Structure 1
Amino acid sequence: MLRDAILPTLWRLSLPNMVAMGMSVLVAVAETYYVGRLGTTALAAMALVFPLAMLTQMMSNGAMGSGVSSAISRALGNGDRDKASALAVHALVIGGVVGVLYSLLLVLCGSVFYRWLGGRGEVLQAATGFGAVLFSGAVLVWLCNTLASVVRGTGNMQWPSAVLFGVSLLQIVVGGAFGLGLGPAPRWGMAGVALGNIVAMAVAVMVLGWYLLCGQDRLLLRWRGARLSWPMFQDILRVGALACISPVQTSLAALVLTGMVARLGPDALAGYGIGQRLEFLLIPIAFGVGVAAVPMVGMAMGAGQVVRARKVAWTGAWLAAAILAVLGLLVVLWPRLWSGIFTQDAAVLVHADAYLRTVGLAFGLFGMGLVLYFASLGAGHVLGPVLAGTVRLLVVIAGGSWLMAGATPSAQGLFVLVVVAMALYGLCTIASVWRTPWHKK
Structure 2
Amino acid sequence: MTVILAQIGVGVAEIFYIGRLGTSALAGASLVFPFYMLMTTMSAGGLGSGIASAVARAIGAGRTEQVQRIFAHAVLTALAVGLAFTIIMIAAASWLYASLGGEGAVHDAALTYSNIVFAGVTFLWISNLLGAAFRGMGNAMLPARIALIGAAFLIPVSPALIFGFGPIPAMGIGGAGLAIILYQAGATLALLVFWRKTQAAAGSIDFRPDRAIFADILRVGVPSSLNALQASLMSVVLTGLAARFGDDALAAYGIASRLDSMMVPVLFGLASAVLTMVGMNAGAGNIARAGRIAWTGAAAGMVVTGLPGILFAIWPQLWLGLFSADPAVLAEGSAYLHITGPFYPAMALGFILSFAAQGAGHSFWPTVAVTARLLCAVGLGWIAIVTLGLGFAALGVATATGVVAYGIICALAMRSGAVWHGQPRRQGRSR
Give distance in 1, aligned partners of 2:414 and 2:28. 38
Name which of structure 1's ranges 72-81 and 339-348 shifts more when overlaid on structure 2. 339-348
The equivalent of 1:362 in structure 2 is 343
* 1:86 has 2:69 as partner: yes
Pick closer, same or farther for the CA change 1:129–1:366 going to 2, 3 Å.
Answer: farther
* Residue 361 (structure 2) aligned to one of 380, 394, 398: 380
Give distance in 2, aligned partners of 1:178 and 1:353. 41
* Residue 253 (structure 1) aligned to one of 210, 231, 234: 234
Q: Which amino acid aligns with 1:102?
A: F
Equivalences for residues 187-266 of structure 1 within 5 A: 191-214=174-197, 216=198, 224-261=205-242
Give distance in 2, aligned partners of 1:221 and 1:341. 54
Equivalences for residues 240-319 of structure 1 within 5 A: 240-261=221-242, 269=250, 272-319=253-300
Name which of structure 1's ranges 408-417 and 371-380 shifts more when overlaid on structure 2. 408-417
Task: Tell me the SS of whatever aligns to 2:186.
Answer: helix
Task: Tell me the SS of whatever aligns to 2:362.
Answer: coil
The equivalent of 2:304 in structure 1 is 323
The equivalent of 1:9 in structure 2 is none
Name which of structure 1's ranges 59-68 and 182-191 shifts more when overlaid on structure 2. 182-191
Task: Tell me the SS of whatever aligns to 2:288.
Answer: helix
* 1:167 has 2:150 as partner: yes
* Residue 389 (structure 1) aligned to one of 370, 384, 407: 370
Higher relative contact order, chain-length normalized (CA < 8 Å, sep 6+): 1
Paired residues of 1:86 and 1:222 also in contact (CA < 8 A)? no
Query: What's the CA shift for 1:312?
Result: 0.9
Aligned residues: 421
Give distance in 2, aligned partners of 1:38 and 1:353. 34
Gaps of at least 5 residues in structure 1 are 1-17
Q: Which amino acid aligns with 1:242?
A: P
Q: Which amino acid aligns with 2:123?
A: L
Give distance in 2, aligned partners of 1:338 and 1:24. 22
Pick closer, same or farther for the CA change 1:186–1:370 going to 2, 3 Å.
Answer: farther
Q: Which has the larger radius of gyration?
A: 2
Query: What's the CA shift for 1:370?
Result: 1.0
Give distance in 2, aligned partners of 1:324 and 1:182. 42
Give distance in 1, aligned partners of 2:117 and 2:341. 29
Paired residues of 1:44 and 1:266 also in contact (CA < 8 A)? no
Q: Which amino acid aligns with 2:68?
A: S
Normalised to the residue count of structure 2, the TM-score between the two structures is 0.83
The equivalent of 1:13 in structure 2 is none
Give distance in 1, aligned partners of 2:114 and 2:327. 28
User: What is the CA deviation profile of residues 305-364 of structure 1, one whole-angstrom value per residue up to 9, with x for unaligned ones?
Assistant: 001111111111111221122333454466666666667788777766766665444333
Computed over aligned residues only, the root mean square deviation of the Cα atoms, in angstroms, reads: 3.6
Give distance in 2, aligned partners of 1:360 and 1:176. 38
User: What is the CA deviation profile of residues 106-136 of structure 1, one whole-angstrom value per residue up to 9, with x for unaligned ones?
Assistant: 3332454456656677766655554444333
Paired residues of 2:164 and 2:171 also in contact (CA < 8 A)? no
Paired residues of 1:174 and 1:193 also in contact (CA < 8 A)? no
Name which of structure 1's ranges 81-90 and 348-357 shifts more when overlaid on structure 2. 348-357
Normalised to the residue count of structure 1, the TM-score between the two structures is 0.81
Name which of structure 1's ranges 326-335 and 144-153 shifts more when overlaid on structure 2. 326-335
Name which of structure 1's ranges 233-242 and 346-355 shifts more when overlaid on structure 2. 346-355
Task: Tell me the SS of whatever aligns to 1:396.
Answer: helix
Paired residues of 1:40 and 1:270 also in contact (CA < 8 A)? no
Give distance in 2, aligned partners of 1:178 and 1:411. 43
Query: What's the CA shift for 1:297?
Result: 0.8
* Residue 128 (structure 2) aligned to one of 145, 162, 168: 145
Pick closer, same or farther for the CA change 1:212–1:346 going to 2, 3 Å.
Answer: farther
Query: What's the CA shift for 1:32?
Result: 4.9
Q: Which amino acid aligns with 1:252?
A: L
Equivalences for residues 103-118 of structure 1 within 5 A: 103-114=86-97
Equivalences for residues 112-131 of structure 1 within 5 A: 112-114=95-97, 127-131=110-114
Name which of structure 1's ranges 181-190 and 157-166 shifts more when overlaid on structure 2. 181-190
* 1:154 has 2:132 as partner: no
Pick closer, same or farther for the CA change 1:266–1:404 going to 2, 3 Å.
Answer: same
Gaps of at least 5 residues in structure 2 are 425-431
Q: Which amino acid aligns with 1:373?
A: S
Paired residues of 2:74 and 2:126 also in contact (CA < 8 A)? no
The equivalent of 2:410 in structure 1 is 429
Q: Which amino acid aligns with 2:260?
A: E
The equivalent of 1:100 in structure 2 is 83
The equivalent of 1:56 in structure 2 is 39
The equivalent of 1:6 in structure 2 is none
Give distance in 2, aligned partners of 1:47 and 1:347. 25
Give distance in 2, aligned partners of 1:273 and 1:120. 23
Give distance in 2, aligned partners of 1:30 and 1:129. 19
